[in-house]
Chains A and B, each alone.
Chain A
Amino acid sequence: MTPSAPIALLAELTHRCPLSCPYCSNPVELERKETELDTETWKEVLGQARDLGVLQVHLSGGEPASRRDLEELTEHAAGLGLYTNLITSGIGLTPRRLDNLEAAGLDHIQLSLQGTNANLADIIGGYRGGFDRKMSVAKDIRERGIPLTLNAVMHRKNLDDLDRTIEMAVELGARRLEVACVQFHGWALQNRAALLPTREQTQAVKETVAEAARRLQGVLAFDFVPPDYYSDFPKACMGGWGSTGLNITPNGTVLPCHAAQTLTHLRFENVRDIGLEDIWYNSQAFNAYRGTDWMPEPCQSCDRKELDFGGCRCQALALAGDAGATDPVCRKSPLHAKVTEILHQEPNAHDSDLVYRKL
């Protein structure tokens, strides 16, 4: 059976970022500026993505505004008919750059939120003054009427501020709020003992989001990523490996998901060497966990196998020591007791120091 074509491309233009969040989704081994793809190569790759069937491109990082050619790449992507979404901390988006991005055809901005006040947000982001700059950028975005989603990354240190987070999303004129509880890969895994929510917080966040979604219907839409360690079933990572989305790192490495480089037994191809279409359909890495044939028990005979696809491969490796195992978050996993044990210990541990991302 021929795999379906991808819908979305996450283009990580750079790993450079003024923030150093301890849950950064970039890999622990960050790529340096010298290795980044140049403007012309990114344009070529965007064209290949469009020809392959991609409809939406998420311009991300690091902080994508760290690239001086962000406007040029946005214009190129929009010109190809791609829906262009900017995923940003806001730092570096001056009013002038926002004007230029608008003129380039930018469709939407997803702005991250580290906390609801400067004290907390700047500690999490590791960047003094970051919160005030972000609020100023949010105002500039609103004035221009650029569609805005606020992406609030939530964890033990800020979950108790959820009510204020929701209020802020309304005040800032966001149409959508993503309440994204930290997923434990890479940097976040190193900080799990400090960031893992308590059971009480997990219960409260579900209730608060459900209540607010009802109260604010038609005003603010919600997307909710629950803390998956507390779930009965794992998250359907990427909606199925190699099925709908792909990720390109700053140096051109093509990944089935942003965390996939932790799977060191896979070989990830680079757009400098091979065309994107060939990589998507034929590479070892994209075919490794595609479909359901690779699945072990209990997934193979589970009626949820095409709902959650066995969960997250990176989490299976991190917790079970085998990327081909059932995600131990699943209550049917033979190794689920490991997750239970972590939940028993870590959320109640004394606060440990945060490990900030760095080169």
Chain B
Amino acid sequence: MPYLAPQNAEEAFRFLDRNRPKIIAGCTDYFPSLQQGETHQDLLDISRISGLRGINRTDRGWRIGAATTWTDVVRADLPRAFDALKLAAVEVGSLQIQNQGTVAGNICNASPAADGVPPLLVLDAEVEIGSVRGSRTVALSEFIQGVRKVDLGPGEMVVAIHVPDVVNEATSSFSKLGSREYLVISIAMVAAVVQVEDGHLTDVRVAIGSCSPVAQRLPDLEALLKGKSVADLAEMDFKAERTFAPLSPISDVRGSAEYRLDVVTEMCRRVIMQACKGD
């Protein structure tokens, strides 16, 4: 039952290849999932691997190391397109959870209600995966394949999340609907990144969480909104369009499918309008 906390990635890859350990970092999902009597398998703690913590500028965008916590995101100096991610960060559980939990862990846990996924989807994030066999990169939208299911083969681990360059003019927002303040699993979430020129939307990206097994972008809505006047958003009938087709919400203790579909349209309007304000 070894517990390995290596300082370099190669050592981690070798241990992964050899022992197929459970990968842990912030542990905010790992510990709550343990069942009575569940004995620890081999554990690979990636939190001490050099270069895995923090957000850096790269030649093609931004790199969020796999051990980067939500608090690291909140404190990082980032373009306004990342505001949605920062707003999501402060809604992840509580400050205690944000100090421990990692962005990469949030996507690897692959919960339909993962707070980080909608804001990363609207940033067109990609996932860098490493192993002894080398590294590969996949789009986040393809990395998360289903509930608790991600594209990680045996011996592989997420090394970083990459966000391609964003223009300085892009602004963003995020909203999470829950039954209480703090420490809440969302009923629905919306993230949006927009660009506004002369009062018109020149680019808009919207993603919805908790309304499908994996959070979804809404390409039809994005296409519909492109070119629209920001001033018209308040009166636009979002529900009239079949733009929410990618969503397939379930009914659970937090809300019915019908409720989710109804409110998410209004949330979209609000989040997009908020994003347009850019403050």
The yes or no verdict on A and B being binding partners is: no
